[in-house]
A and B are shown apart, each in its own frame.
Chain A
Amino acid sequence: MTLEVILFFVFGIVAAVTAVIMITRSNAVISALFLVLNFAALAGLYLTLNAQFIAVTQIIVYAGAIMVLFLFVLMLLRPENEKKFLELNPKIKIFAMVVSFVVFAQLAYIIFFARPSQNISKDLAKSVEAGTIEAIGRELFTNYIVPFEAAGFLLLAATIGALVLAKKKFD
């Protein structure tokens, strides 16, 4: 058992378990806090994949900014707790669970039988090189400068849109 294996299983199990807890709690604030834990575990997984820049961005943007926004909205609205899982429309919910599980089974079947690792083997030096902020920044400001500017414009549009939508009066 190398350290990589141990770290993968620790972070992977934390991510899977917190995801399940997140959708099963009736109190929305507890769900949000478990989602933060899930994002932190994902950042750890990104680190085991040598993606340093994305791991830091995950913590800052997702676990920091977006989840603070969610918690603020939860604090402002204070939604009532939901009913128990099977109290309302049990047939539709069980059907939904079955459908989503079939999707998961299909994906797992494809992954197990296609065996992408036959064709992909990890080159450690290239993998580390790909995850540095230098490599990502070089791509971002040369070949992908137009999508980068578009992303900036999208953020501006979203800021203005959120302000207008959440304003008290439309006039």
Chain B
Amino acid sequence: MNITIEYYLILSAFMFFVGVAGVLTRRNAIIVFMSIELMLNSANLTLVAFSSYLGNSIGQLFVFFVMTVAAAEAAVGLAIIIAIFRNKLTVNIDEINILKW
């Protein structure tokens, strides 16, 4: 038995599905953020799998950039969550509707 690239792609698709389900069903803003990180990681897994199977290091380079963007996004996003919590005393995204009119 050989591990072909399909195994990694299916695992990555499954993790993306779990991340999408988490974003759509959870109401805690921090857990929504963590689900987004999960989706970013499943995309990373696809990139690394193709990079390794094709013998080309560009895919891993892009994973490096995705990690940079994820770190920046987590820092800014959590700062926004703290700022919102200071005003509304909740992180439940059903109650955060200040942009709704």
Contacts and interface: CB of A to CB of B under 8 A. Distances in A.
B8 A45 contact: yes
Given A12-B7, A45-B45, A96 B24 contact: yes
Interface of A is mostly: helix
B78 A127 contact: no
A22 B38 contact: yes
Interface string B56-97: 111011011101111111111011111101100011100000
Interface residues of A, number: 85
Q: Which A-B residue pairs are the 7 nearest by beta carbons?
A: A126-B55, A158-B72, A96-B24, A104-B17, A23-B22, A117-B4, A165-B79
Contacts of A37: none
A135 B57 contact: yes
Interface of A: 1-2, 4-5, 8, 12, 15-16, 19-20, 22-23, 28, 31-32, 35, 38-39, 42, 45-46, 48-51, 53-54, 57-58, 61-62, 65-66, 69-70, 73-74, 76-77, 79, 82, 85, 88, 93, 96-97, 99-101, 103-104, 107-108, 111-112, 115-117, 120-123, 126-127, 129-131, 135-136, 139-140, 144, 147, 151, 154-155, 157-159, 161-163, 165-166, 168
A54 B10 CA distance: 20
A106 B24 CA distance: 18
